[in-house]
A = this chain, B = another copy of it.
Amino acid sequence: MLRTPRFFIGVDGGGTGCRARLVDRDGRILAEGRGGPANLTLGLEPATAALAAAVGDAFAAAGLGPADRADTDAAFGLAGVEASGTAAALAAHAFGLGRLAVVSDAETACLGAHAGRDGAILILGTGSQGYARRGAARIRVGGWGFAISDGGSGAVLGQRAVRRALAAHEGLAPASALTAAVMQPHADAAALCAWSLGARPADYGALAPLVFAHAEAGDRVALALRDEAVAEVEALVGVLAGQAEAPVALVGGLAAVYRPLLGPQLAPILALPAGDAMDGALMLARRA
């Protein structure tokens, strides 16, 4: 006889933080919780601590105790699941939960965006990745890191803006309001160089809004950078829709920025996401 738990919790864990959504058997949202970065490539221990914080946060906010936790099925969608190979080490009992499923954050985002049906997503944030569910098949396009992939991502766009700003600063390329704004926090080329040695993808990605704002204002350098990024996003959407034979939902922090910039020919293959990655994790928790 199947046991039906009283509660379900769905977690979305990425490199900047993790969020947990706790619902009852009828799908009513009881509470949400937050924790620190839970990308498994950052290490199993910090990820476990961040996940425990987000889960604990949600149960505390809902006023539920240990017995309720044990009567909760869970699913975690986490960044770095494939790359780290450590997902199997995350056990339900370590969190005081009933059952636990751990999958990639792309899987839960795709489940959530298409309400559990087949479909494709293009994640556009600090990184970028195309992902699709088509029956038992999983399709992946892009997302191989900002050094060689991640077209349209904030990190790639931001790094190009820095390169372009430094070139302008040295007289190697035309300057603009954008190139001045990117150089502004740095005393000179040597200071920018020192900054770049410690810069992570999120540091470059933090410059993406500056590029979009200057493009909006007509800055030529920003427009050129934006055009290049938009072309990369369009290529990703096209390949993804073709391979998945399904509509593509744009998700992530830059999704709303890119949506109005994409060519009208893509309108028929774009879909609005039905839900978020925590919704997707909750679907998975119910199936577990």
Question: B-contacting residues of A (Cβ < 8 Å)?
Answer: 141-142, 144-145, 147-149, 151, 159, 162-163, 166-167, 170-173, 189-190, 192-193, 196-197, 199, 232, 235-236, 239, 242-243
- Residue ID in chain B nearest A144 by CB atoms: B193
A-B contact sample (7 more), CB < 8 A, given A147-B159, A171-B243? A144-B196, A147-B196, A148-B196, A151-B167, A170-B239, A172-B235, A173-B235
Min Cβ gap A193→B in Å is 4
A147 CA to B160 CA, complexed, in Å: 9
- Residue ID in chain B nearest A142 by CB atoms: B170
Min Cβ gap A140→B in Å is 8
Contacting residues, chain B, for A141 (C-beta < 8 A): 170-172
B166 adjacent to A196 (CB under 8 Å)? no
Given contacts A172-B239, A173-B235, A236-B172, contact A166 B193 (CB under 8 A): no
Contacting residues, chain B, for A142 (C-beta < 8 A): 170, 172
Min Cβ gap A199→B in Å is 8
A2 CA to B232 CA, complexed, in Å: 67
A236 CA to B173 CA, complexed, in Å: 10
A173 CA to B148 CA, complexed, in Å: 14
Helix, strand, loop or mixed for chain A's interface?
helix
A149 adjacent to B171 (CB under 8 Å)? no
- Residue ID in chain B nearest A147 by CB atoms: B196
Q: Closest 3 CB pairs between A and B?
A: A144-B193, A172-B235, A171-B239
From A159, A163, A236, name the one whose CB has the most chain B CB atoms within 10 angstroms: A163
B235 adjacent to A193 (CB under 8 Å)? no
Task: Please name 11 pairs of A and B residues whose Cβ atoms are closer than 8 Å in the assembled complex, sorted by A.
Answer: A142-B170, A144-B189, A144-B196, A147-B196, A148-B166, A149-B166, A151-B167, A170-B239, A171-B243, A172-B232, A172-B236
Contact of A149 among B145, B149, B163 (CB under 8 A): B163
Contact of A145 among B145, B148, B196 (CB under 8 A): B196
Contacting residues, chain B, for A148 (C-beta < 8 A): 159, 162-163, 166, 192-193, 196
Min Cβ gap A139→B in Å is 11
Contacting residues, chain B, for A243 (C-beta < 8 A): 171
